[in-house]
Amino acid sequence: MAKATFAAGCFWGVEAAFRQVQGVTNTAVGYTGGNTPDPTYEQVCTDRTGHAEAVEVEFDPEKVPYERLLEVFWQNHDPTQLNRQGPDHGSQYRSAIFTHTPEQQTAAEASKQALDESKKYRQPIVTQIEPASTFYRAEEYHQQYLEKRGQSSCHI
């Protein structure tokens, strides 16, 4: 198994999108990329921890390549919105790819460049690509939040 970590706005919808992908074996929502150890949801919502709401994806690279996960990431949010997605705003909702290996870093940068060159968006892509840091699992009530409520997606 391998890990991938993505931030693309509210983590509930991002998690739901990745759970649909064949070859994904597990997901967890949480917080990463900031400077507050073991933050709570309430702390992250203050926009002072530096953390992004993110999804850690465990996947079988024999069944789903990392590049497919990148496609899902790009398709499920607007990577041109700085520190926001839809009505949610703050750095905790930023667009970011947290890479776990040099190969992921290279693939993420190449996919971002290809998307930028495609001219799909009028605005520049603001997605950050950086090495993964400590991932703090969110409170249990956030895990598979939409599934627990019989919903398949968020407003994004």
Q: Which residue numbers are catalytic?
A: 10
User: Pick from 42, 14, 7: which is nearest to 146 by CA?
Assistant: 14
Q: Taking a C-beta distance cutoff of 8 angstroms, is the pair 94, 132 a contact? A: no
Helix, strand or coil for residue 125? coil
The residue among 55, 62, 60 whose CA lies nearest residue 32 is 55
**Residue 108 per-residue DSSP state:** H
